[in-house]
Chains A and B, each alone.
Chain A
Amino acid sequence: MAIYEENREGVSGWFRITRYSVERALYVIQRLSGIGIVIFAFIHLLYTSWHPGGWGDVILGVLVTYHTLNGLRLVLTEHGFLIGKPTRAVYPYRKGTLYGSQRYLTMAILALFVIFVLIWSYVALVIPAG
């Protein structure tokens, strides 16, 4: 059968995250949050005054915050910043894209993400109720 012979992972390949580095998981969340934001944007264009409200607002805030912060990380790394200079590959290998500055940047954006989400949740849930 051609499909077995072809042996291509397809979309399920995006979700194979457990055996690779953390960047792989960030990549999948980036894609899914992007799709989520596009879906919201479509509904928002049809019914301009509509917004999910309550926990819906929190979820939307999580998507947008993550997508923006991780997007900033990608803008930096994909232009060759913070991934280290080319060097000799000496065992045990420490690859610049998986260690050092890039990882610190990843941790920093994840920390910022948590802080922003907490602030946004407070704004979306506590302030309207109070």
Chain B
Amino acid sequence: MSTDKEIEVKFRIFRFNPKTDFAPRWQEYNVKVDKSTTVLDALLKIKEEQDPTLTIRYSCRQAVCGSCGMMINDKQMLACFTRVLELNSNIIKVAPLKNYRIVKDLVTDFSELFQKERQVKPYIIRHDFEELLNPTGTYKQTEEELLGYIQFADCIECGMCNSACPVSATDPLYLGPMILNRAYRFISDPRDLGFEQRIEAIDSEHGCWRCHFAASCSTVCPKGVDPAKAIQLLRRQLVKKAVLGISSPKKVELIPMAHVKGKLELPKGWQ
């Protein structure tokens, strides 16, 4: 095929250093790409051969870590998961993710996002402390119970859903699809007993009721997680509980296992 040979493509890249620059600027680079070159490869090529001051964040290069989410031709995409020639465009516009504070160039700051994530307690909450400290077995899960949350557990926290969300664009306090998906992942887990503890954050003005179901989060998700579905199911659970008074108590059977032994130390300040 003719795409095996290298083609020169123009990259328009967003350059901005908040510490020194007054306003952002667009810089253009010409890069030779072939059919296997990803946007991340091209950016690294620019950094190595043309401009070492270009700042990017990446890690795994295979759509697992979620570090290289950016606006490629005005849409949220993972740079490592997007081939340049598949974009079918002579000019590739690369900018940092929208709705996040810019650290430099294409690097955005997720600290606010992770700070907000603490509100929904993204971990399994249980009350049988003795079993947690001195485990004697494993909790039983059926295939159906697993299917209830496994899709939402695939989230790699790339933050692209929050960037695509039109509500996040205007409401900085909105938890956003990523965090609400995280909340639903644990709420729907049969082992988790922390629904009551998460209600305050979720059932609020900036929680799941803020969503307007534009479904852009699900459109841009690179892992098939479908955060929009998680938010709607979260609402369904809240309505069931508040309006219809239905709450399904979780009872997880413990399967004793002889080989599970050992005492866990309490972390400092944990109660």
Is B172 located at the chain interface by the 8 A CB criterion?
yes
- Tell me how many residues of B have a C-beta within 8 Å of chain A: 51
For chain A, which range describes its interface: under 10, 10 to 19, 20 to 34, or 35 or more residues? 35 or more
Given contacts A80-B233, A88-B150, A95-B229, contact A6 B101 (CB under 8 A): yes
Residues of B within 8 A of A10 (CB): 169-170
Given contacts A78-B232, A79-B236, A89-B154, contact A95 B169 (CB under 8 A): no
Interface residues of A in 13-45 (CB under 8 A from B): 13-14, 16, 19-21, 23-24, 26-28, 30-31
Given contacts A19-B75, A77-B213, A80-B235, contact A88 B24 (CB under 8 A): no
Is A98 located at the chain interface by the 8 A CB criterion?
yes
Q: 15 more A-B contacts (CB under 8 A) besides A5-B101, A87-B151?
A: A5-B16, A6-B101, A7-B97, A8-B99, A13-B170, A20-B215, A26-B214, A27-B212, A80-B235, A84-B229, A86-B148, A86-B152, A95-B224, A97-B228, A98-B218
Is B22 located at the chain interface by the 8 A CB criterion?
yes
Interface residues of B in 177-226 (CB under 8 A from A): 188, 211-216, 218-221, 223-226
Instruction: Give the complex CA separation of A84 and B226 in angstroms.
Output: 11
- A7/B100 in contact, CB under 8 A: yes
Residues of B within 8 A of A28 (CB): 166
Interface residues of A in 40-98 (CB under 8 A from B): 74, 77-80, 83-91, 93-98
- A16/B74 in contact, CB under 8 A: yes
Residue in B closest to A2 when the chains form the complex, CB atoms: B18
Pick the residue among B73, B74, B101, B150 that contacts A7 (CB under 8 A).
B101
Residue in B closest to A25 when the chains form the complex, CB atoms: B214
Is B60 located at the chain interface by the 8 A CB criterion?
no
- B170/A74 in contact, CB under 8 A: no
